[in-house]
Structure 1
Amino acid sequence: MPGDLEQLGRDIQARVRQWVNIPVGVGIGPTKTLAKLAQWAGKNWPATGGVVNLMDPQRQQKLLKLAPVGEVWGVGRKLSSQLETLGIKTAFDLASADPRHIGRMFSKVLERTARELRGEQWLKMHDDPDPKKEIVSSKMFGRRVYLLEELRQAAAAYTTRAAEKLREQGSVCSELVVSVQTSQFADPADRYWNGARMLLPTPTADTRDLIQAANQGLHGIYRAGFAYSKCTIQLCRLSQLEGLTHDMFAPQPRRNVDRLMATMDLVNERFGRGALRVASIPVEAGWAMRREMLSPSYTTSWRELPRAR
């Protein structure tokens, strides 16, 4: 099988050169990250002819020991310098490290990269979707909400979910928009919609900072006496954390924020969303969307698989 794959790679090379006259390299591996590393090796070692097959575990180990950690797909210059201070200088060092410790120290994204280098498939073999340019979290309330405190609870819950999505794609945001509205079917005199745009002092993915901004916005747009039916949180002006240049005059971020957020995400991934949350989000919220008629999760939950009779 490995020989067949290598020949397939050379056939692809020949076909592309014949059709468009562009030289290409082909990397083959059991995971996407290893295949990317194989492609890098094909570019740097002419003797390979531009085709490197890493399906053989011995070949994997040999290349991992030769490849600098900065050449691993998704690591980059800034992150590689941080890893090197911890003694992780090669792709082999990263693959040998405890992936859970890597996740706590840096991010879930880097944890998946480390696992991929070990031969564990964590990334689907499809084109990488571009990071979202904005993230929206919004739901209709299960009942009408009148109190500012309940709106703050809802905003905190929706902001928390938006922040999780933000970190999942390795981004930070510089702007948050919070809006509230009543039912569009209410009498005209009882209708109300308003929103507040909050500029953050420094780009962040810290759930606490984002909730603080949402609360400040809510205080400016809340009007007593209205029956609110919906709250929306929108994260805007997103940028990738990797390669971000920090403003030396901006307020310094909290210490160990990346590690704290990574720990929260890992706990919630293992024990269920909301297992670890900020104190302003209640365990059971009266305003939460009603889910009595929720359809079973046939495709995402083992417990809810349909039974054949």
Structure 2
Amino acid sequence: MSRWALVDVNNFYASCERLFRPDLRGRPLVVLSNNDGCVVSRSPEAKALGVKMAEPFYRIQAAFAAQGGVWFSSNYALYGDLSARVMSLLEQAAPQVQIYSIDEAFLQLEGPWLTDAMAHAQRLRQQILQWTGLAVGIGLGPSPTLAKLANYAAKRWPATGGVVDLQDAARRARLMALTPVEAVWGIGLRLGQALQREGIHTAAQLAATPAKGLRARYGVTLERLVTELNGQSAGCLTAPPPLRQQVLCSRTFGERITQRTLLREALANHLVRAAERLRQADLCCRHLGIFIRTSAHDPRQPFYGDQAGITLPAPLDDSLALLAWLDGLLDRIWRPGPAYYKAGVVLSDLSPRQFLQGDLFDGQDPKRMRLMQVMDSINRRHPHGLTLAAQGLGDAPWQMRQAQRSPCYTTAWSALPLAYC
């Protein structure tokens, strides 16, 4: 019988911020989204105050500060580095690790894990805490869905010590009877409401529903999920992901933009980032689109937004080749006068690189392909190490507002914490 574990870092972004600030222990802490807009991570103390995920921070800032709360801008360099350290420990602990998100991963368990999974999980949890300073919850079960459910219980009830094993059928039944159906992995709010209209309110009721009938109404994914709730691995995790339909890179500006040169610079940055994502996925695009817009909620000026696109002569993933089309597209939609609030790039009509049908007279230059590989390699090791001239020199007004960003403690020599003896 297969065994799975799900390891999830508790309150990941908030825990990363508190890791190097022990003076903040016990104080409510939140991490904000891009441009310091909404709450994306909360410490337990902030949750106890009633702070909700995705809540616009300006609405609660005064009350939150009055109760001793502290807040941070997102520091993705710090989070990415600490995530890599946790994942490295997981890869040493199990032969097969599937990273699910920045703060969680599934482990397929073999060997010694099968004889005493709880003891191994507790040792792993202690090792991660000792080596990284981050607390994790670990859920164990005969399928990925049950491992996810066990992790939900491990994080919800502190008395579990952060580890829950659902290998025992009777224990599974007790937990599923207490778990709302919308809390089951892959259900969510909308599908949960539809299931509740059918009288399915808990995970136990969902597990007891005939899977074939659910498939007819909701599709094969829900059928597999029900099979896994009943203790049989059904490929919910191992099913191949669908091919991406598009790559979108956009962001609201830290300040409103009125100059065309700055707007082009912002679009160039988005385009370079989108092309990097293409290459990471071994894809090429045949269609390039851009859009610009003002704020729809600004009473001082009428709303303006427009988009432009072009079908490329041949599929591309080359940042320099894609940038060559940018000026022509921007000329079609640029209008002087408005204060622009957001811009973005969309790459679509994607195809796998290995199936690329080349152009007889205008194929991709192998030297340029190697250049892109070198650029990507440098930027993977040094996230701010290499930029193109079209991307500007940095510190532009369109860049994200990050008034409360913490130092990059683990990735910048200048930000290393000092210890005084």
TM-score range, shorter chain: 0.5 to 0.7
| Aligned counterparts of 1:152 and 1:293: Cα–Cα separation in 2 | 27
The alpha-carbon distance between structure 1 residues 254 and 216, as it changes in their structure 2 partners (threshold 3 A), is farther
| Aligned counterparts of 2:257 and 2:301: Cα–Cα separation in 1 | 17
- Report the equivalent of 1:276: 386
Instruction: Report the alpha carbon displacement of residue 189 of structure 1 after superposing the two structures with TM.
Output: 5.2
Match of 1:167 among 257, 273, 279: 279
Cα deviation code 1:68-105 (max 9, x no counterpart): xxxxxxxxxxxxxxxxxxxxxxxxxxxxxxxxxxxxxx
The alpha-carbon distance between structure 1 residues 177 and 188, as it changes in their structure 2 partners (threshold 3 A), is farther
Range that drifts further, 168-177 or 204-213: 204-213
2:324 paired with 1:212: yes
| Aligned counterparts of 1:233 and 1:191: Cα–Cα separation in 2 | 20
2:257–2:397 contact (8 Å) kept in structure 1: no
1:164–1:265 contact (8 Å) kept in structure 2: yes
- Report the equivalent of 1:258: 369
Contiguous gaps of at least 5 residues in structure 1: 1-7, 10-28, 33-124, 305-309
2:243 paired with 1:131: yes
- Report the equivalent of 2:19: none
Instruction: Report the alpha carbon displacement of residue 256 of structure 1 after superposing the two structures with TM.
Output: 1.4
State the superposition RMSD in angstroms.
3.2
Instruction: Report the alpha carbon displacement of residue 278 of structure 1 after superposing the two structures with TM.
Output: 1.0
Instruction: Report the alpha carbon displacement of residue 247 of structure 1 after superposing the two structures with TM.
Output: 3.3
Match of 1:202 among 297, 301, 314: 314
- Report the equivalent of 1:237: 349
Instruction: Report the alpha carbon displacement of residue 215 of structure 1 after superposing the two structures with TM.
Output: 2.4
1:1-309 aligned at under 5 Å gives the runs: 126-187=238-299, 190-248=302-360, 251-273=362-384, 275-284=385-394, 285-294=396-405
Instruction: Report the alpha carbon displacement of residue 294 of structure 1 after superposing the two structures with TM.
Output: 4.6
Instruction: Report the alpha carbon displacement of residue 162 of structure 1 after superposing the two structures with TM.
Output: 0.5
1:200–1:213 contact (8 Å) kept in structure 2: no
1:135–1:165 contact (8 Å) kept in structure 2: yes
| Aligned counterparts of 1:295 and 1:127: Cα–Cα separation in 2 | 38
Q: Letter of the aligned partner of 1:287 in structure 2?
A: W
| Structure 1 residue ranges, 4+ long, deviating more than 3 angstroms after superposition | 29-32, 125-128, 293-298, 300-304
1:138–1:231 contact (8 Å) kept in structure 2: yes
| Aligned counterparts of 1:31 and 1:244: Cα–Cα separation in 2 | 31
Cα deviation code 1:192-251 (max 9, x no counterpart): 0000011111101000122222322111100000100100100000000002222325x2
Range that drifts further, 172-181 or 187-196: 187-196
The alpha-carbon distance between structure 1 residues 176 and 295, as it changes in their structure 2 partners (threshold 3 A), is farther
Between the two proteins, what is the percent identity of the paired residues? 31
1:179–1:193 contact (8 Å) kept in structure 2: yes
Instruction: Report the alpha carbon displacement of residue 131 of structure 1 after superposing the two structures with TM.
Output: 3.3
1:131–1:169 contact (8 Å) kept in structure 2: no
TM-score (norm 2): 0.40
| Aligned counterparts of 1:204 and 1:211: Cα–Cα separation in 2 | 11
Instruction: Report the alpha carbon displacement of residue 186 of structure 1 after superposing the two structures with TM.
Output: 2.3
The alpha-carbon distance between structure 1 residues 213 and 226, as it changes in their structure 2 partners (threshold 3 A), is same
Contiguous gaps of at least 5 residues in structure 2: 3-93, 98-236, 416-421
| Aligned counterparts of 2:412 and 2:335: Cα–Cα separation in 1 | 45
Q: Report the secondary structure of 2:390's partner residue.
A: coil
| Aligned counterparts of 1:301 and 1:129: Cα–Cα separation in 2 | 32
Q: Letter of the aligned partner of 1:253 in structure 2?
A: Q
Cα deviation code 1:20-60 (max 9, x no counterpart): xxxxxxxxx9579xxxxxxxxxxxxxxxxxxxxxxxxxxxx
- Report the equivalent of 2:189: none
1:172–1:239 contact (8 Å) kept in structure 2: yes
